[in-house]
Amino acid sequence: MDEFELLDPWSIEMLAPIVVAGEGPMACPGCAAVTGFSAGGRWGDPVRMRCRCGHDWLPFEDDPELSRELMKELIIAAQSEQ
């Protein structure tokens, strides 16, 4: 799905919290913020997150499939907003 690849790895900005079923909102491990993240990655990659505080992390490291699915959903959402 090359048309969904991101050239800028931090091009998806999220202002609203990311809520994962059964887990509540995703929070930055560095500062505990639940908004203001950027996501990076390409289709099929695990999602990488960056907080406004400067902390980078890989959410769902113990579940790479969930991480890849979140990256795909974020790419689709970003494409639909353009």
- How confident is the model over 22-38, as pLDDT tens digits? 778 889 999 999 998 88
For residue 2, what pLDDT band results from cuts at 50, 70 and 90? very low
What confidence score (pLDDT) does residue 11 get?
Answer: 67
In whole numbers, what is the pLDDT of the chain averaged over residues?
Answer: 81
Query: Does position 8 have pLDDT exceeding 70, yes or no?
Result: no
Sheet hosting strand 12-14, strand order edge to edge: 12-14, 37-40, 48-51, 56-57
Question: Do 43 and 7 form a contact (C-beta atoms < 8 A)?
Answer: no
Q: What is the pLDDT of residue 30?
A: 95
Two tokens, residue 72: 């795909």
Alpha-carbon distance of 42 to 70, in angstroms, equals 11
